[in-house]
């Protein structure tokens, strides 16, 4: 483990004015809080926070971030509290540690819907202070470096999560070195045979050709010396995962891959960058279509560089990146360069982006899209590279690689996209699914009366275009949603002995801030609003009367006066089922069904188990359970299903389709129940319906507390 004085020395290498006393106090406090805790490897747990802090010093980050790394697990895993950290280290550090704690609790590799909501929370946390995600990335990197001590199943789960989420997020933030290492560490876990095969082929190639990197580096230096240009030249073989991905994308064998080596030339000025480019192109033949100028058109995370691929020694293709020293700092640290220190002061790097503006570019549509759309668009954003195209007037539009003229149209304005009928690229009419390339001029042709088509969803690649198309299609589907909403509203109103009259719905729409009853019904039918909310808006006294039957806040026996109660979402226990409680720090007691598989992980933590049982008597129908139903795709079937549930005096609080086939629909319906008997009544009634092919209780074990 790194000694505190060694850690302070690492910080003072770039920030001589660092508050060494505060770092010492944080180091001592973290060691005290984690005393007696061990990692899976058998090492003291505190070795992990110290290693994370050391990783962050490589990015030259400020004292608050380094201290947060030392304390990032204290709130979650020790008796330390937010108030303790505020008193000892100030509001800034306490906020950062609390942010990292909340991120740690997010199950980002959950099911799609839960994952989408957790991604939204991730980006909200990032928008408050991006340093939170920098600490989390450092935490994940060290965990991946020491992953061998985990169980095989846990290794695979962490590696997949890293490959799908944290590696592309690091890349999107401009921290390419971290992305590559996270990818390669994950690749080592997920496909060790493929990685070992590539490593063996590399060794064979080196024996056959010698040290190619050293030779080509020498060639480039020789040409620069002849041109009297001062610059540093670095070369390396690309990471195994990068090579594997290229083999998969291009369906090539290793022997047919050419550009498996990369070189960087770091110089003093932008003018030198272009001079170096000229020298390289004079000496070696440029490969057509492999030139990118990110100096004149930087990426939105601040990345600037010239990329070119040339046929080097023995005809081997090599990629060369050319940039200045300041640009290189941003290329290494990405968005984190905003916090970098040099000689005790915040580095004034002109190329470092404002983190607030960068995160705003990712979260600008946060409140406009539903969860699934948001997840899809975030992943598109994280994995995208960029192309730069021009309007006929010469304005530059930045698009992700793979974008089409239809994406371009929506990037200009939603109205332009909705009315697009065709496009011209460099004056030539092309299909709307054509992939755009750097430097092309795009002319969008529109027509009055044109509306988005459902097939456009598969043509476009940008989140903005997909969201606009879906919004337009929803408007066209409004009639169908209104009809479904009428059935849902009728069932919900019948549940409380009321009628869903036009006047009642109009009044509810006004109370909920909606345009009219048609808008209200459309939202019910599209599952944007639960029917229960409409009933409660009009008849709060009925809802209150139901709640008073049994106090829904204290429906179980066995809790102390200061313990809070929460049903586990993984098993959704209801009155009448055997239950047990598990204590969680800061969450009170979470109640599980006694047969819930999630309880297995607590078998050796008997001190956390609480013996509970439900209150006797009549419970209010406030216990939501999920039913998974497969029904025939025929007119009126869904309406009859909703009617059956309503006839059993149960409220449908949510409804979502999970699969649509020409002859069958699969959907999940959330129903509010009194108890297990009520559940059996509903399932029996639905099973008797001829158009119901299958029904079961939907339990999502990924939804943990």
Highest mean pLDDT range out of 61-75, 487-501, 558-572, 639-653?
Answer: 61-75
Q: Measure CA of the first residue to CA of the last residue in the chain; give whole Å.
A: 33
Cα(30)–Cα(73) distance, integer angstroms: 9
Where are the extended beta strands (E) located within 345-487? 345-346, 386-390, 396-400, 420-425, 428-430, 442-446
Place 545 in a pLDDT band, splitting at 50, 70 and 90.
very low
Find the helix or strand (DSSP H, E) in which 297 lies. none
Cα(114)–Cα(130) distance, integer angstroms: 23
Given a cut of 70, whether residue 366 has pLDDT beyond it is: no
- The three-class DSSP label of residue 421 is strand
CATH of range 193-346; options 3.40.50.1110, 3.60.20.10, 3.30.460.10, 3.30.565.10: 3.30.460.10
**For position 312, what pLDDT does the model report?**
67
Tokens found for residue 700: 């999502």
Cα(425)–Cα(431) distance, integer angstroms: 10
Our answer to whether residue 95 is catalytic in this structure is no
CATH of range 4-189; options 3.40.50.720, 3.20.20.70, 1.10.10.10, 1.10.3210.10: 1.10.3210.10
Range 478-489 average pLDDT? 78
Cα(404)–Cα(398) distance, integer angstroms: 12
Per the residue annotation, which of 5, 63, 73, 77 is the catalytic one? 77
β-pairing verdict for 623-632 and 692-697: antiparallel
Given a cut of 50, whether residue 593 has pLDDT beyond it is: yes
Write the CB contacts of 557 (distance below 8 Å, at least 6 apart in sequence).
Answer: 612, 613, 614, 615
Tokens found for residue 369: 């899209």
Nearest to 538 by CA among 571, 582, 575, 503: 503
Per the residue annotation, which of 58, 76, 117, 373 is the catalytic one? 76
Given a cut of 70, whether residue 647 has pLDDT beyond it is: yes
pLDDT tens for each residue of 180-201: 899 999 999 988 888 888 888 7
Nearest to 313 by CA among 340, 283, 339: 283
- Contact by Cβ (8 Å): 404, 434: yes
Place 346 in a pLDDT band, splitting at 50, 70 and 90.
low
For the ranges 38-47, 363-372, 433-442, 631-640, the lowest mean pLDDT is seen at 363-372
Domain boundaries of the chain, sorted by first residue:
4-189, 193-346, 384-476, 555-705
Nearest to 535 by CA among 495, 481, 486: 495
Place 548 in a pLDDT band, splitting at 50, 70 and 90.
very low
Range 490-510 average pLDDT? 84
CATH T-level topology, domain 555-705: Alpha-Beta Plaits (3.30.70)
Write the CB contacts of 622 (distance below 8 Å, at least 6 apart in sequence).
Answer: 546, 547, 552, 672
**For position 377, what pLDDT does the model report?**
55
Given a cut of 50, whether residue 546 has pLDDT beyond it is: no
Mean pLDDT score across all residues of the chain: 81
DSSP state of 44: B
β-pairing verdict for 386-390 and 345-346: unpaired
Find the helix or strand (DSSP H, E) in which 263 lies. strand 261-267
Cα(356)–Cα(336) distance, integer angstroms: 12
Find the helix or strand (DSSP H, E) in which 626 lies. strand 623-632
For the ranges 8-12, 378-382, 412-416, the lowest mean pLDDT is seen at 378-382
Position with higher pLDDT, 11 vs 691:
11
Given a cut of 70, whether residue 18 has pLDDT beyond it is: yes
Measured torsion, CA atoms of residues 620, 623, 624, 626, in degrees rounded to the nearest 10: -110
Cα(650)–Cα(491) distance, integer angstroms: 8
**For position 547, what pLDDT does the model report?**
42
Phi and psi based region of residue 344 (left: phi greater than 0; alpha: psi -120 to 50; beta: remaining)? left
Q: How many CB atoms lie within 10 A of CB 580?
A: 21
Taking the CA of residue 367 as centre, how many other CA atoms within 13 Å lie in the half-sphere pointing to its CB? 1
Q: Is the torsion defined by CA of 697, 698, 700, 705 positive or negative? A: negative
Place 277 in a pLDDT band, splitting at 50, 70 and 90.
very high
- Contact by Cβ (8 Å): 303, 171: no
Tokens found for residue 121: 């929370």
Given a cut of 60, whether residue 543 has pLDDT beyond it is: no
Nearest to 471 by CA among 461, 485, 456: 456
**For position 76, what pLDDT does the model report?**
86
Residue 118, Cβ density class (10 Å: 0-12 exposed, 13-18 middle, ≥19 buried): buried
Based on its alpha-carbon atoms, the radius of gyration of the chain, rounded to whole angstroms, reads: 30
- Contact by Cβ (8 Å): 4, 27: yes
**For position 9, what pLDDT does the model report?**
92
For the ranges 19-33, 201-215, 620-634, the lowest mean pLDDT is seen at 201-215
Place 103 in a pLDDT band, splitting at 50, 70 and 90.
confident
β-pairing verdict for 588-593 and 579-584: antiparallel
Tokens found for residue 390: 């021009």
pLDDT tens for each residue of 300-330: 777 889 999 888 666 677 889 999 998 888 8
Nearest to 66 by CA among 86, 92, 40: 92
Range 581-604 average pLDDT? 84
CATH T-level topology, domain 384-476: Ubiquitin-like (UB roll) (3.10.20)
For the ranges 417-421, 504-508, 661-665, the lowest mean pLDDT is seen at 661-665
**For position 269, what pLDDT does the model report?**
92
Given a cut of 50, whether residue 113 has pLDDT beyond it is: no
Range 450-473 average pLDDT? 82
Degrees, nearest 5: CA angle 45-50-52: 105
- The three-class DSSP label of residue 346 is strand
Q: What percent of the chain has pLDDT over 90?
A: 25
Where are the extended beta strands (E) located within 183-260? 232-237
Range 60-70 average pLDDT? 91
For the ranges 346-360, 481-495, 642-656, the lowest mean pLDDT is seen at 346-360
Given a cut of 90, whether residue 54 has pLDDT beyond it is: yes
Tokens found for residue 320: 């060369």
Range 530-543 average pLDDT? 76
Our answer to whether residue 76 is catalytic in this structure is yes
Place 538 in a pLDDT band, splitting at 50, 70 and 90.
confident
For tokens 């994995």, name the residue.
383
Position with higher pLDDT, 379 vs 652:
652
**For position 44, what pLDDT does the model report?**
92
Range 246-271 average pLDDT? 73
Given a cut of 60, whether residue 404 has pLDDT beyond it is: yes
- Contact by Cβ (8 Å): 398, 453: no
Given a cut of 80, whether residue 247 has pLDDT beyond it is: no
Could you please report the per-residue DSSP string of 474-499?
A: HHHTHHHHHHHHHHHHHHHHHHTT--
Tokens found for residue 413: 């304005």
Given a cut of 90, whether residue 339 has pLDDT beyond it is: no
Given a cut of 90, whether residue 674 has pLDDT beyond it is: no
CA distances for 391 relative to 171, 192, 656, angstroms: 29, 47, 41
For the ranges 272-281, 544-553, 657-666, the lowest mean pLDDT is seen at 544-553
Place 705 in a pLDDT band, splitting at 50, 70 and 90.
low
Q: Which pTM value belongs to this model? A: 0.55
Q: How far is CA 407 from the centre of its chain?
A: 22
Cα(544)–Cα(89) distance, integer angstroms: 45
For the ranges 5-9, 131-135, 554-558, the lowest mean pLDDT is seen at 554-558
pLDDT tens for each residue of 128-177: 777 888 899 999 999 999 999 888 888 998 898 888 778 888 887 778 88
Nearest to 461 by CA among 528, 405, 505: 405
Range 416-443 average pLDDT? 88
């Amino acid at each position: 483990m790194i000694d505190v004085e060694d850690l302070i020395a690492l910080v003072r290498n770039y920030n001589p004015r660092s508050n060494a006393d505060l770092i010492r106090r944080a180091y001592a406090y973290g060691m005290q809080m984690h005393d007696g805790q061990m990692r899976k490897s058998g090492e003291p747990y505190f070795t992990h926070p110290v290693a994370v802090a050391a990783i962050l010093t490589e990015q030259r980050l400020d004292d608050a971030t380094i201290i947060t790394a030392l304390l990032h697990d204290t709130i979650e895993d020790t008796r330390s509290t937010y108030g303790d950290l505020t008193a000892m280290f100030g509001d800034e550090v306490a906020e950062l540690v609390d942010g990292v704690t909340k991120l740690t609790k997010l199950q980002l590799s959950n099911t799609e819907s839960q994952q989408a909501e957790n991604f939204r929370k991730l980006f909200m946390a990032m928008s408050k202070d991006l340093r939170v995600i920098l600490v989390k990335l450092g935490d994940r990197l060290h965990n991946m470096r020491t992953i061998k001590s985990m169980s095989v199943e846990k290794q695979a789960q962490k590696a997949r999560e890293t490959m799908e989420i944290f590696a592309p997020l690091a890349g999107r933030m401009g921290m390419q070195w971290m992305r590559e290492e996270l990818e390669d560490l994950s690749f080592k876990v997920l496909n060790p045979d493929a990685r070992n095969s590539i490593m063996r082929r590399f060794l064979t190639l080196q024996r056959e050709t010698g040290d190619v990197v050293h030779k080509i580096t020498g060639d480039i230096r020789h040409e620069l010396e002849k041109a009297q240009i001062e610059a540093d030249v670095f070369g390396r073989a690309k990471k195994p995962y990068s090579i594997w991905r290229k083999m998969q994308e291009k369906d090539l064998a290793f022997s047919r891959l050419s550009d498996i080596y990369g070189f960087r030339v770091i110089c003093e000025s932008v003018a030198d960058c272009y001079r170096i480019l000229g020298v390289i192109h004079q000496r070696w033949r440029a490969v057509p279509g492999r030139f990118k100028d990110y100096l004149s058109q930087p990426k939105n995370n601040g990345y600037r560089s010239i990329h070119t691929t040339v046929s080097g020694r023995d005809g081997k293709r090599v990629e060369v990146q050319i940039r200045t020293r300041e640009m290189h700092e941003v290329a290494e640290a990405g968005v984190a360069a905003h916090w970098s220190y040099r000689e005790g002061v915040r580095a004034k790097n002109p190329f470092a982006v404002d983190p607030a503006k960068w995160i705003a570019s990712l979260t600008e549509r946060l409140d406009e899209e539903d969860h699934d759309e948001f997840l899809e668009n975030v992943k598109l954003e994280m994995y995208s590279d960029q192309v730069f195209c021009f309007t006929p007037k010469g304005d530059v539009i930045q698009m992700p690689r793979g974008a089409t003229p239809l994406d371009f149209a929506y990037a200009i304005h939603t109205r332009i996209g909705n009315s697009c009928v065709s496009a011209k690229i460099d004056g030539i009419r092309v299909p709307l699914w054509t992939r755009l390339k750097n430097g092309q001029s795009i002319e969008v042709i529109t027509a009055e009366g044109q509306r988005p088509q459902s097939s456009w969803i598969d043509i476009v690649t940008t989140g903005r275009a997909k969201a606009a198309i879906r919004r337009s299609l929803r408007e066209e589907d409004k009639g169908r949603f209104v009809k479904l909403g009428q059935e849902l509203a009728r069932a919900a109103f019948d549940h409380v002995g009321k009628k869903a009259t036009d006047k009642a719905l109009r009044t509810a729409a006004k109370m909920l801030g909606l345009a009219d009853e048609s808008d209200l019904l459309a939202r019910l039918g599209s599952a944007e609003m639960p029917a229960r909310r409409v009933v409660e808006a009009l008849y709060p006294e009925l809802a209150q009367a139901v709640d008073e039957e049994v106090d829904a806040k204290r429906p179980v026996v066995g809790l102390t006066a200061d313990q809070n109660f929460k049903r586990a979402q993984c098993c959704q226990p209801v009155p009448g089922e055997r239950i047990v409680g598990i204590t969680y720090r800061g969450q009170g007691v979470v109640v599980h069904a006694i047969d819930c598989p999630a309880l297995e992980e607590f078998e050796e933590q008997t001190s956390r188990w609480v013996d509970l049982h439900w209150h006797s008597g009549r419970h209010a129908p406030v216990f939501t359970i999920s039913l998974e139903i497969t029904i025939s795709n025929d007119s009126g079937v869904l309406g009859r299903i909703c009617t059956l549930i309503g006839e059993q005096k149960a409220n449908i609080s949510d409804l979502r389709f999970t699969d649509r086939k020409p002859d069958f629909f699969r959907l999940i319906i959330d129903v509010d129940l009194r108890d297990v008997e009520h559940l059996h009544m509903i399932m029996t009634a639905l099973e008797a319906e001829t158009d119901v092919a299958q029904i079961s209780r939907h339990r999502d074990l990924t939804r943990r507390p």
